[in-house]
C-alpha cells in the first residue's frame, strides 16, 4: 500500500464529514415523506386547483338543476372557478406528461359546467380531478391526537361562532352581512362532498375573496381539531354500525370526502364512513393494533387497485408491512417463526402483485390468503398473551441484537484511536454516540406527539445509514489489513503519529459514530413501543428487567473488548479487528439492501429457494446476495493480494 493510502483511515473519516452532511439531507427528506415530483410553486397551484375543484363539487347543486340555471350568481361563480382551474392546470410543468391527466380532467370539469351537466356528473368530474391531484400533493403531517372535544368546542365558540353560529349552522350574528354567507357545517349533503383536508386548508390559509381568514395563530393540532370538529357536525346523529369491516385509515378520511369513500361500497359501509366522520376520535386510539393496521392498509390497497390506481395500491401495501406487521414480528417469533416468515413473504409479494397484476380476481385471492394468515397471527398475539418470561427474553434480545452492532463499531473506532495514540480524538466518538442516543429519543418522542413518520421513511433512513456504515467499515478494514505486520505499523507511526487531525476529520469521527448508533437506536425504540402495546401494564416490569439485563451484558462486553483489545499486540489486534470490520460490513450491507427493498427504493428479485438468516443480514433476493458477495469479494481480494506480496 502506498504512503498516501497508509493514512487512509483518517482521510476516510474526514470524508465522513461530507458524507454525514449528505446523510442528514437524505434523512430530512425521508422524514418529510412527500412526493417531490412537483416543484414548490406547482404544489401551491395543485393545492389551489384541488380546493377549487372541491368547492365546485359542493356548491354546483345550488347553481344548476335539470339542465337549467337555478342561481345565475352561483353559476357564474362555478364558471369562473372552472376557468381558473384550467388556467392553473395549464401552468403545470409541460416538460413531462405526468400532468396530462390532470389537465384533461380540468377540461372535462369545465365542459361539464359549461354544458350544465347534472350534479352527479360534475361531482364525479370534481372527485376524479381531486384524486389525481392527491398523487402530487405533499402529504400532510397527520395528527397523532386531537384536542379534547370540550377544548375544541371552546375554540370554535371563541373564534368561529360569530360567523358560523354556535352550532355551526352558518347563522352567527355576523352571517347576514357576509358575502358569501358562512358555511352551514350541519348540511349533510354539503359535508358529504367536503374533505377534511379542504377544511384544514381553509382554517390554515383562509379562502381568497371571502371573509374566511387564515387562523395562523393556532398550532397544527388546534387547526386539525377544528377541521375534524366542523367536519363531524353533519354526522353527529349517525349511529355506530354493527359487523362492518373497519378499513378506513386516517389518511383516507382526511384526503377523501365521504362520497368518494363510499363510492362502490355497500350501504352498510357508506353508513360506517359517515359514522367515522362524526366520531373521528376512533382514528386516534392510543394503542393501534399493528395487525389491524396491516389489514386496513391491505384492504385499502385492494380498493385502490380495483379503481386502477396501481401505484397507490403498491404504496399502501408497503405501508401494510412497514407501519403494521413489521412492528410485531419480534412478538410473533415467540409463538410461530414459520408463520411470521410466511406472512412476511406474502406481504412482500403482494406489493408486486398490486403494481403489476391487472386481474382483480387474482389480487382478491392473494389478499384473502394474507388476511387469513394475519387473522391467525392476531389470534395468537391477542388470545395467548406473552408470559412475563417471554417478554423479558424479547426485551433482552431486542436490545442485545440492535445494541451489539452499534457497540462493535464504536469500540473499533475507539481502539484504533488508542492504538494510534490519538486519545485526544476519543471525545468526538463519544459526542457522536451520545448525540445519537439523545436524537433517537427525541425523534421517537416527536413521532409519538408531533409528526407521523411513515415506515417507508424509517426504512430509507435506516437503509441509507447501514449502507454508509458498511462502505466506511469496509474501507477501514482494508486500511487495517495493511497494518497487520510490525514493519508496516512502525512505518505508519513514523509517517503519521505526529500529524494532528484536522477539525473536519474530528467531526467526521463524530458523524460516523452518530450514524452507526442512531439507526440502531431508532429501530430499537420502535420495537419496544410495539412490545409495550402487546403487554399489560403489570408486565412492564418484565420488559424493564430485560432491558436492564441487556444493558448490563452490553456493559460487560464493552469492558472486555476495551481491556483485552488494547493489550493485544498491534499486528494481532489489527488482524482480528480487520475480520470483525469486514463481518460487520457484510451484515450491514445485507441489512441496508433489505431496508431499501422494504421501502421500495430497490427492487426485489427472489432467488429460486427461500431462506432468511436475520443475524447475518442474509435474505433470499438477488440484490442482497450480490451486494454481500461484492463485500466478500473485496475482502478476499485484499487478503490474497497481501499474501502474494509477502
The CATH number for 74's domain is 1.20.120
Q: Examine residue 630 and state whether it is found in any structural domain, yes or no.
A: no
Residue 334 and residue 233 share a domain:
yes
Q: Examine residue 639 and state whether it is found in any structural domain, yes or no.
A: no
Is the pLDDT confidence value at 461 over 50? yes
- Quick one: average pLDDT of 230-253? 79
**Final residue before a domain boundary, out of 134, 159, 180:** 134
Parent domain of 155: 149-383
Residue 379 and residue 391 share a domain:
no
Higher pLDDT: 48 or 499? It is 48
> Comparing 154-168, 222-236, 251-265, which segment has the lowest mean pLDDT?
251-265
Q: Examine residue 109 and state whether it is found in any structural domain, yes or no.
A: yes
Residue 377 and residue 432 share a domain:
no
Please tell me the predicted confidence (pLDDT) of residue 490: 46
Residue 175 and residue 246 share a domain:
yes
607 pLDDT band (50/70/90 cuts)? confident
Q: In total, how many domains does the chain have?
A: 3
Residue 392 and residue 249 share a domain:
no
Q: Examine residue 437 and state whether it is found in any structural domain, yes or no.
A: yes
Q: For the purposes of burial, counting CB atoms within 10 Å of the CB of 280, is it exposed (0-12), middle (13-18) or buried (19 or more)?
A: buried
Residue 537 and residue 451 share a domain:
yes
Residue 401 and residue 526 share a domain:
yes
Alpha carbons 291 and 471: distance in angstroms, whole number:
35
Higher pLDDT: 53 or 22? It is 53
**Residue 586, CA distances (Å) to 267, 613, 617, 628, 632 in order:** 55, 13, 8, 6, 7
Q: Which of 292, 354, 279 is nearest to 325 (CA)?
A: 292
Q: Examine residue 483 and state whether it is found in any structural domain, yes or no.
A: yes
**Cβ atoms of 299 and 247 closer than 8 Å:** yes
**Final residue before a domain boundary, out of 383, 398, 416:** 383
Mean pLDDT of the chain, nearest integer: 76
Ranked by mean pLDDT, the top range of 3-7, 71-75, 638-642 is 71-75
Pairing mode, if any, of strands 68-69 and 64-65?
antiparallel
> pTM for this one?
0.46
Question: For a pLDDT cut of 70, what percent of the chain falls above it?
Answer: 72
Backbone angles phi, psi at 619, to 5 degrees: -140, 155
Residue 111 and residue 168 share a domain:
no
Is the pLDDT confidence value at 550 over 70? yes
Ranked by mean pLDDT, the top range of 14-28, 269-283, 494-508, 562-576 is 269-283
Please, which residues have CB within 8 angstroms of residue 53's CB and are 6 or more apart in sequence?
85, 109, 126, 129, 130, 133
> Comparing 282-286, 418-422, 549-553, 582-586, which segment has the lowest mean pLDDT?
282-286
| 395-429: pLDDT as tens digits | 887 788 778 777 877 877 787 777 667 777 788 88
Residue 76 and residue 20 share a domain:
no
> Comparing 119-123, 219-223, 574-578, which segment has the lowest mean pLDDT?
574-578
Q: Examine residue 397 and state whether it is found in any structural domain, yes or no.
A: yes
Higher pLDDT: 353 or 522? It is 353
Handedness of CA 32, 37, 42, 43 (dihedral sign): negative
Q: Examine residue 619 and state whether it is found in any structural domain, yes or no.
A: no
612 pLDDT band (50/70/90 cuts)? confident
Residue 375 and residue 400 share a domain:
no
Residue 563 and residue 494 share a domain:
yes
How far from the centroid of its chain's Cα atoms is residue 51's Cα? Answer: 26
Residue 565 and residue 451 share a domain:
yes
Alpha carbons 459 and 601: distance in angstroms, whole number:
10
Alpha carbons 21 and 568: distance in angstroms, whole number:
35
Please tell me the predicted confidence (pLDDT) of residue 59: 84
Is the pLDDT confidence value at 296 over 50? yes
Please tell me the predicted confidence (pLDDT) of residue 641: 75
Q: Examine residue 606 and state whether it is found in any structural domain, yes or no.
A: no
Amino acid at each position: 500500500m502506498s504512503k498516501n493510502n497508509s493514512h487512509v483511515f483518517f482521510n476516510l473519516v474526514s470524508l465522513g464529514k461530507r458524507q454525514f452532511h449528505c446523510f442528514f439531507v437524505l434523512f430530512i427528506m425521508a422524514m418529510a415523506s412527500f412526493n417531490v415530483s412537483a416543484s414548490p410553486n406547482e404544489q401551491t397551484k395543485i393545492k389551489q386547483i384541488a380546493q377549487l375543484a372541491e368547492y365546485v363539487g359542493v356548491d354546483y347543486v345550488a347553481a344548476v338543476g335539470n339542465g337549467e340555471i337555478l342561481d345565475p350568481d352561483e353559476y357564474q361563480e362555478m364558471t369562473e372557478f372552472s376557468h381558473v382551474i384550467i388556467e392553473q392546470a395549464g401552468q403545470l410543468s409541460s416538460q413531462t406528461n405526468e400532468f396530462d391527466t390532470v389537465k384533461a380532467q380540468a377540461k372535462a370539469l369545465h365542459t361539464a359546467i359549461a354544458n350544465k351537466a347534472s350534479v352527479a356528473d360534475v361531482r364525479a368530474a370534481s372527485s376524479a380531478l381531486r384524486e389525481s391531484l392527491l398523487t402530487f400533493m405533499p402529504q400532510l403531517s397527520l395528527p397523532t391526537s386531537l384536542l379534547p372535544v370540550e377544548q375544541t368546542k371552546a375554540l370554535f365558540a371563541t373564534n368561529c361562532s360569530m360567523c358560523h353560529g354556535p352550532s355551526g349552522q352558518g347563522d352567527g350574528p355576523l352571517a347576514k352581512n357576509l358575502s358569501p354567507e358562512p358555511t352551514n357545517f350541519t348540511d349533510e349533503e354539503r359535508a358529504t362532498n367536503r374533505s377534511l383536508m379542504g377544511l384544514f386548508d381553509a382554517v390554515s390559509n383562509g379562502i381568497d375573496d371571502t371573509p374566511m381568514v387564515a387562523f395562523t395563530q393556532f398550532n397544527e393540532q388546534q387547526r386539525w381539531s377544528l377541521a375534524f370538529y366542523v367536519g363531524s357536525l353533519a354526522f353527529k346523529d349517525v349511529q355506530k354500525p354493527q359487523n362492518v369491516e373497519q378499513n378506513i385509515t386516517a389518511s383516507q378520511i382526511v384526503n377523501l370526502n365521504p362520497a368518494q369513500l363510499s363510492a362502490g361500497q355497500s350501504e352498510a359501509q357508506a353508513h360506517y364512513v359517515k359514522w367515522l366522520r362524526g366520531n373521528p376520535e376512533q382514528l386516534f386510539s392510543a394503542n393501534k393494533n399493528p395487525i389491524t393496521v396491516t389489514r386496513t392498509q391491505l384492504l385499502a390497497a385492494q380498493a385502490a387497485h380495483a379503481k386502477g390506481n396501481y401505484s397507490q395500491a403498491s404504496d399502501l401495501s408497503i405501508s401494510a408491512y412497514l407501519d403494521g406487521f413489521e412492528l410485531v414480528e419480534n412478538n410473533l417469533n415467540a409463538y410461530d417463526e414459520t408463520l411470521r416468515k410466511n406472512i412476511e413473504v406474502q406481504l412482500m409479494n403482494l406489493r408486486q402483485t398490486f403494481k403489476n397484476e391487472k386481474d382483480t380476481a387474482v389480487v382478491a385471492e392473494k389478499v384473502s390468503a394474507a388476511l387469513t394468515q394475519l387473522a391467525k397471527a392476531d389470534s395468537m398475539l391477542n388470545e395467548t398473551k406473552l408470559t412475563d418470561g417471554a417478554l423479558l427474553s424479547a426485551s433482552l434480545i431486542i436490545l442485545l441484537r440492535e445494541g451489539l452492532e452499534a457497540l462493535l463499531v464504536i469500540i473499533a473506532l475507539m481502539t484504533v484511536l488508542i492504538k494510534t495514540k490519538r486519545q485526544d480524538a476519543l471525545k468526538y466518538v463519544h459526542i457522536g454516540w451520545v448525540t445519537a442516543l439523545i436524537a433517537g429519543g427525541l425523534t421517537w418522542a416527536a413521532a409519538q406527539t408531533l409528526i407521523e413518520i411513515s415506515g417507508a421513511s424509517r426504512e430509507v433512513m435506516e437503509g441509507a445509514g447501514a449502507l454508509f456504515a458498511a462502505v466506511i467499515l469496509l474501507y477501514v478494514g482494508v486500511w487495517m489489513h495493511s497494518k497487520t505486520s510490525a514493519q508496516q505499523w512502525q512505518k505508519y507511526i513514523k509517517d503519521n503519529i505526529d500529524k494532528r487531525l484536522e477539525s473536519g476529520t474530528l467531526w467526521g469521527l463524530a458523524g460516523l459514530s452518530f450514524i452507526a448508533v442512531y439507526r440502531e437506536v431508532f429501530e430499537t425504540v420502535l420495537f419496544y413501543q410495539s412490545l409495550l402495546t402487546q403487554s399489560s401494564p403489570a408486565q412492564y416490569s418484565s420488559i424493564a428487567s430485560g432491558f436492564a439485563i441487556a444493558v448490563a451484558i452490553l456493559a460487560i462486553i464493552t469492558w472486555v473488548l476495551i481491556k483485552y483489545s488494547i493489550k493485544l499486540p498491534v499486528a494481532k489486534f489489527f488482524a482480528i479487528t480487520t475480520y470483525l470490520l469486514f463481518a460487520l460490513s457484510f451484515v450491514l450491507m445485507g441489512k441496508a439492501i433489505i431496508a431499501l427493498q422494504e421501502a421500495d427504493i430497490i427492487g426485489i428479485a427472489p432467488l429460486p429457494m427461500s431462506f432468511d438468516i436475520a443475524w447475518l443480514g442474509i435474505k433470499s433476493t438477488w440484490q442482497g446476495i450480490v451486494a454481500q458477495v461484492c463485500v466478500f469479494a473485496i475482502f478476499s481480494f485484499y487478503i490474497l493480494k497481501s499474501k502474494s506480496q509477502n
